[in-house]
Chain A
Amino acid sequence: MTAGLRTESRPFNRVGMKRIGITTTVPSEFIFAAGLAPVDLNNIFVTDINSSGFIELAETEGLPRASCGWIKGMYGAARAGMVDAIVAVSDGDCSHTRTLLEIIQSEGMPLIPFAYPYDRDHSLLRKQMEKLAAWVGVSMEDAEKWMNRLDSIRSKLWEIDRLTWEENRVTGFENHLLLVNGSDMEGDPDRFEEKCGRFLEEARQRPALPQQLRLAFIGVPPIIGDLYEFIETLNARVVFNEVQRQFTLPFRSDDIVERYLLYTYPYDVFSRIRDIKEEIAKRDIHGVIHYVQSFCHRQMEDVMFRKHLGNIPFLTVEGDAPQKLDARTKLRLESFCEMLSLKISALGRPGC
């Protein structure tokens, strides 16, 4: 627990407090079990028509210009009155989030920190879940029942993912947009499941997409709106969205604690590297795009990925604010895809 934070067991009356903001994927089963709606603050921010306004608000309040756009956006979303309380990931995401939760709490927002133990200690994660359960007034068993409910939705997301890489019927952007919502199920599991079901029906009827180059997109979801669309103009398509797929909890277990220990994103980079390598091989990927957010500590992970992902062509792309691709990033993407195409023409496949 973060020192100094108010973590009362029942900080609010559930009546009239329906929307619980989350700062990244947390065990939403507990929130749903309590009859509350988890809402990913990142999603609220980046899909808002005035997303730049959220950042301006944060900077007006004094958050540094040279700090993470996602953090400032989440601050703006929290301030905009879109949620009634927040479950904030204090360990397993970034130190900026930790400070963000302190700022938000100081402004009177009911809030509970949630800590993923770096060493994947089962008992510590269970304690965190029990604390969350007590906070929202449910039991571990209630949450486990909800895990089964959410898994029926996740199985649709997994099928959408399979249609992306195996049958080539789903675009990289569609894959991103649907899988990233695995974090909060858009706050309404029934409606989201129906949406995924309708999408699947339609996608299964499509012809295979024509792009030749198969790319992996690793790192946090991009803040840039037109990245996937632009890539698809370059005879390329993202067939693996690493973190978005993790938001669908792709590794099965009947134990809810184990389930969130297998989820790679909040822990060490090595398990992410293992997962990425497996998917690169399985999905027959030609090149990797590592997206990094400006001023994020995860930029440093670039060193590890370049070192440990083998000989696969690798491009690092940086984004700052929710805006369209800048000329420099377009140039890099064009050059990268051109390089892959020429290698395939000359060598049969890149990286050989």
Chain B
Amino acid sequence: MLNALGIDVGSRYVKFARFEDGRAVMDKVDTVMFYRRCRAVSGGVDIRRLEQFAQSSFGRIVATGYGRHNVRIQGAEVISEIRAHAEGARYQTGLLDFTLIDLGGQDTKAIRVRDGLVDDFLMNDKCAAGSGRYLENIARMLGITVEELAGYCHNPAKLSVTCAIFGESEVIGKLAEGVEIESICAGANLSVASRVSALMKRFVSSTYVVTGGVARNGAVTKFLAERCEGRVLVPEHPAFNGAIGAAITAQTQETVFHTVGEPAKEADRAP
């Protein structure tokens, strides 16, 4: 097996995945810090400037992120985010037919995978509405963590604006009306799920695999499970799915269909 590294350059974090003894080993660094520390004088980005890779040498590096031209990592081949996420989800779940919903910091993707191949995909357009950034902003406004926000799914307040910026005004309005914070949090989670469920309906499937940082939000995945006919799976490492997919691509074809790690968990349905 190649000594391979997968890198996913996201809007918030740069995620790394490699394999040791058949298990994925992951790491992440802040994206801004990554670029500040790793920018090489000769152009591009040199990951050996990161402490954890200073002494490393990789047989093959495959990177993904926000477009080929934005991922200029020295010595790395680049694949699209769509392919990386599909590969990652296929690897983490062992499935060949599913719809992948990737809920990232700034965008949302739906990818239909058939017979292990990307069959079609959709992305939200030039708008961070309903993304992780929206939930981050709401949590910050309310003075709580995103993890705490993710715990609320009961009695959701009706929020109609999922814009990462204008959504804040609506939340202020709800606070002024005296709506409970718990209810506002549940409303924010529900509004994200409602927006995403429209994408899910475009690629109807018996299995939806949900990845990205927002997949760790149990309230959002519960609401999603309520809104579709199929089962909703969250793999063991949802936020590292793209990096794992890049690492898998960096491996030989024979390893692509292997599944390691914990089995994917099926999301609970909200009561």
From residue 97 to 125 of chain B, which have CB atoms closer than 8 A to chain A?
Answer: 107, 117-121, 123, 125
Closest chain A residue, CB of each to CB of B85 = A335
> Which of B66, B69, B79, B80 has most A Cβ within 10 Å?
B80
Say whether B126 contacts A318, CB under 8 Å: yes
B261 contacts A by Cβ under 8 Å: no
Give, as a whole number of angstroms, the nearest-CB distance from A102 to chain B: 30
Nearest 8 interchain pairs by C-beta: A335-B82, A335-B80, A331-B67, A327-B67, A339-B118, A330-B67, A338-B80, A334-B80
Given contacts A330-B68, A331-B67, A335-B80, is CB(A342)–CB(B123) below 8 Å?
A: no
Tell me if A's interface is mostly helix, strand, loop or mixed: helix
Bound-state Cα–Cα, A318 to B126, Å: 9
Q: Could you write out 11 A-B pairs with CB less than 8 Å apart?
A: A326-B126, A327-B69, A328-B66, A328-B125, A331-B66, A331-B81, A335-B80, A335-B121, A338-B79, A339-B83, A342-B117
B82: chain A residues at CB < 8 Å are 335, 338-339
B67: chain A residues at CB < 8 Å are 327-328, 330-331, 334
From residue 60 to 99 of chain B, which have CB atoms closer than 8 A to chain A?
Answer: 66-70, 79-83
B residues apposed to A, CB below 8 Å: 66-70, 79-83, 107, 117-121, 123, 125-126
Bound-state Cα–Cα, A331 to B65, Å: 9
From residue 295 to 352 of chain A, which have CB atoms closer than 8 A to chain B?
Answer: 313-314, 318, 326-328, 330-332, 334-336, 338-339, 342-343, 346-347
Question: Contact partner of A342 among B69, B83, B121, B125, CB < 8 A?
Answer: B83
How many chain A residues touch B (CB < 8 A): the figure is 18
A residues apposed to B, CB below 8 Å: 313-314, 318, 326-328, 330-332, 334-336, 338-339, 342-343, 346-347
Say whether A335 contacts B81, CB under 8 Å: yes
Bound-state Cα–Cα, A331 to B70, Å: 10
Known: A313-B120, A318-B125. 10 other contacts (CB 8 A): A328-B126, A330-B68, A331-B80, A331-B123, A335-B121, A336-B121, A338-B80, A338-B82, A339-B82, A339-B120
Give, as a whole number of angstroms, the nearest-CB distance from A215 to chain B: 15
Closest chain B residue, CB of each to CB of A234 = B68
A347: chain B residues at CB < 8 Å are 117
Give, as a whole number of angstroms, the nearest-CB distance from A137 to chain B: 48
B126: chain A residues at CB < 8 Å are 318, 326, 328
Bound-state Cα–Cα, A347 to B114, Å: 12
Say whether A327 contacts B123, CB under 8 Å: no
Closest chain A residue, CB of each to CB of B86 = A339
Given contacts A328-B123, A339-B82, A339-B83, is CB(A334)–CB(B118) below 8 Å?
A: no
Give, as a whole number of angstroms, the nearest-CB distance from A345 to chain B: 9
Say whether A332 contacts B123, CB under 8 Å: yes
Question: Contact partner of A330 among B69, B117, B118, B123, CB < 8 A?
Answer: B69
Closest chain B residue, CB of each to CB of A327 = B67
A339: chain B residues at CB < 8 Å are 82-83, 117-121
Bound-state Cα–Cα, A318 to B122, Å: 13
Give, as a whole number of angstroms, the nearest-CB distance from A223 to chain B: 14
Bound-state Cα–Cα, A318 to B125, Å: 8
Bound-state Cα–Cα, A342 to B83, Å: 10
Given contacts A318-B126, A327-B70, A330-B67, is CB(A335)–CB(B117) below 8 Å?
A: no
Bound-state Cα–Cα, A343 to B119, Å: 8
Give, as a whole number of angstroms, the nearest-CB distance from A220 to chain B: 17
B79: chain A residues at CB < 8 Å are 338
B123: chain A residues at CB < 8 Å are 328, 331-332
Closest chain A residue, CB of each to CB of B70 = A327
